[in-house]
Amino acid sequence: MDVLTPYSLDEALEVRFTHPEATPVAGGTDLMVDLNARRLQPTALLDLSHVDELGTWQKESGTVFVGAGMTFARIARELTEFPPLADAARSVASPQIRNRATIGGNLATASPAGDSIPALAAYDADVVVASSKTGMRRVPLGEFLVGPKRTSLAPDELIVGVEWQSVTRPGSFVKIGRRNAMVIAVASACLQVDDEWHGVRLALGSVGPTVLRARHAEEFAEDLDWSDPATLVEFGRLAAAETQPIDDRRGSAAYRRHVVEVLARRLLAQAEKARC
Ligand SMILES: Cc1cc2nc3c(=O)[nH]c(=O)nc-3n(C[C@H](O)[C@H](O)[C@H](O)COP(=O)(O)OP(=O)(O)OC[C@H]3O[C@@H](n4cnc5c(N)ncnc54)[C@H](O)[C@@H]3O)c2cc1C
């Protein structure tokens, strides 16, 4: 197998265009599993781990950019200003995996259980993608994720990073699994309060074909008293009603709906406490 190793983003995009048979690899924590199981047998790999531009992050004029090559270990360490994403990063697998696994790989794999995705959905993030022929474009996360393990990335494009408008209000991420570490989410939720304290954005993982936004619950909570028990109950009910879970070996659809109802209620109550 050929391994093509570019050392800049321009070079990587050129190789992506001229060698469409080369599968991109970043940390390899998803790809190598598929290779070992012979689900994938690419004739060439495009190794992105030496592309410095992908391994940076910055906050400028209120816009946060996180490069696709940022590992979860670095996100957990360096992006503590963004608790939902940092907490999600901390919840991924084990230290060894977190040292390799990247946010770009998590997005490209597009699992509904991908831990970084609920935080990015709650931030209303765009995925920054690029091609050597058509240049750079920003795709709203909801348009990037088109189904379970499916994205709208074009064959000659690479994920460059993710971008969102920084928010200063509280946000939190919770993941439910069968144990605390080394676990794929049975369900996860991320709630982010907006800058005016009028509303919240609630994203749900592992309870639908892609990570979902609970839009009806969000609309309901706008400008309401989040300390009112009736508001919390209805918020949880609406969030659970928006899920499209399946039964699988990690949990039943009924359990997942129940988990979302409880998590949504708790996260909204926590947000209200943070205001007081
Ligand atoms: C033991 C174990 C435990 C795990 N636990 C978790 C967990 O708790 N939570 C979780 O969310 N995930 C988990 N994962 C899955 C995996 O670690 C993550 O999805 C990780 O983020 C993948 O990133 P990577 O850099 O390793 O991707 P890779 O394996 O290198 O690539 C994954 C996919 O993304 C593509 N790709 C990578 N970078 C780019 C790019 N810049 N542009 C375009 N395509 C790209 C590759 O072609 C490939 O299709 C686990 C995996 C293992 C093996």
pLDDT in tens, 120-129: 999 999 999 9
Nearest protein Cα to ligand 1, atom 4: 93
Q: Is any atom of ligand 1 closer than 6 Å to the C-beta of 24?
A: yes
How many residues would you count in the chain? 276
- The yes-or-no verdict on residue 275 having pLDDT over 90 is no
Q: Are strands 158-165 and 171-176 parallel, antiparallel or unpaired?
A: unpaired
Where does residue 51 rank: exposed (0-12), middle (13-18), buried (19+ CB within 10 A)? buried
Contact between residue 46 and residue 35 where contact means Cβ atoms under 8 Å apart: no
**Mean pLDDT confidence for 44-71:** 98
Provide mean pLDDT across the span 94-100.
Answer: 97
Query: Is there an atom of ligand 1 within 6 Å of 128 CB?
Result: no
Cα 38 versus chain centre, distance: 26
Atom 7, ligand 1: which residue's CA is nearest? 92
Check whether 98 has a pLDDT greater than 90: yes
In this prediction, residue 66 carries a pLDDT of 98
CB 59 within 8 A of CB 161: no
Q: Whose CA is nearest to atom 52 of ligand 1?
A: 29
Tokens describing residue 255: 């359990």
Q: What is the mean pLDDT of residues 175-188?
A: 94
Question: Which phi-psi region, left, alpha or beta, contains residue 16 (left: φ > 0; alpha: ψ -120 to 50)?
Answer: alpha
Say yes or no: CB of residue 48 within 6 Å of ligand 1.
Answer: yes
Q: What angle do CA 199, 144, 180 make, to 5 degrees?
A: 65
Query: Among 81, 67, 44, 62, which residue's Cα sits nearest to residue 162?
Result: 67
Q: Is 19's pLDDT higher than 90?
A: yes
The partner residues of 131 in beta bridges, in order of sequence, read 135
Average pLDDT of 252-274?
97
Whether 180 shows a pLDDT value over 90: the answer reads no
Q: Which class for 271: exposed (0-12), middle (13-18), buried (19 or more C-beta within 10 A)? A: buried
Q: What is the pLDDT of residues 193-209, one digit of tens each?
A: 999 999 999 999 999 99
Mean pLDDT computed over every residue of the chain: 97
Chain centroid, CA 197 distance in Å: 24
Looking at residue 219, its pLDDT comes to 98
Nearest to 124 by CA among 85, 173, 164: 164
List the structure tokens of 182: 């080394």
Name the residue with the closest Cα to ligand 1, atom 51.
Answer: 29
Q: Quick check: 43 and 21 in contact, CB under 8 A?
A: yes
40 lines ligand 1 (CB under 6 A): no
Could you read off the pLDDT of 37-56 as tens digits, one per residue?
Answer: 999 999 999 999 999 999 99
pLDDT score of 152: 98
50: exposed, middle or buried (C-beta count within 10 Å: 0-12, 13-18, 19+)? middle
Q: Does the beta carbon of 157 sit less than 6 angstroms from any atom of ligand 1?
A: no
Domains and CATH numbers, the chain: 2-165 (3.30.465.10), 171-275 (3.30.390.50)
**73 within 8 A of 99, measured Cβ to Cβ:** yes
Residues 142-168 pLDDT 10s = 999 999 999 999 999 999 999 999 999
Which residue's CA is the closest to the ligand 1 atom numbered 48?
Answer: 31
Give, for ligand 1, the residue of 50, 107, 109, 145 to mutate: max count of ligand atoms closer than 8 Å to Cβ: 109
The minimum-distance atom of ligand 1 relative to the CA of 26 is: 30
- pLDDT reported for residue 116: 98
**Predicted pLDDT at 63:** 98
Q: What is the DSSP string of 220-258?
A: HHTTS-TT-HHHHHHHHHHHHHT-----BTTB-HHHHHH
- Ligand 1 in reach of 93 Cβ (< 6 A): yes
Q: Is 276's pLDDT higher than 90?
A: no
How far is the C-alpha of 183 from the C-alpha of 94, rounded, in Å?
9
| CA distance linking residue 59 with residue 62, whole number of Å | 6
Which residue, judged by its Cα, is nearest atom 9 of ligand 1? Answer: 92
**Residue 136, pLDDT score:** 98
- Residue 189 pLDDT exceeds 90: yes
pLDDT of residue 181: 87
Q: What token pair was written down for 241? A: 């009603």
Secondary element (H or E) of residue 271: helix 253-275
Q: Is the CB of 159 under 6 A from ligand 1?
A: yes
Contacts by 227-233, CB closer than 8 A, 24 or more apart: 227/269, 227/272, 231/268, 232/265, 232/268, 232/269, 233/265
